[in-house]
Amino acid sequence: MTATLRIRALNDDLRRNLSGGMAVMTPGVAALGPDFVQRAIDATAAFDDFHNGNDPHKEHDLGILDVDGHKLIFKICYYDKSLSGHSPDPSDPSVTERVITLMLAEEY
């Protein structure tokens, strides 16, 4: 499996199952309440509209979707295990901490 395919699989697992990393949300998402947050998590997990325009590196690390009329962005970033810098190898979960962030587009 190539590094890109491994990164994509790890990102898909985090996005779909919230496993293999951590998830955070911005204050704007949280302010819309727990029911909205759950719908946003579910919509992010179901997102599959990846194409060259939004996924040029084929890593499935970014998406833009609509939830209840709100434009939402998810972004997966790759940190080292101490969360103090970039991962030396995003395809290797032993040296990478994945973080998916859910944000409103206007918070970007």
- The DSSP symbol for 79 reads E
Domain count, the chain: 1
Helix (H, G, I), strand (E, B) or coil at 54: coil
Our CA dihedral for 51, 96, 79, 108, rounded to 10 degrees, sits at: 30
Domain encompassing residue 13: 3-107
Q: Which stretches in the chain have pLDDT values below 50?
A: none
State the pTM of this model.
Answer: 0.95
pLDDT (tens digit per residue) in 14-40: 999 999 999 999 999 999 999 999 999
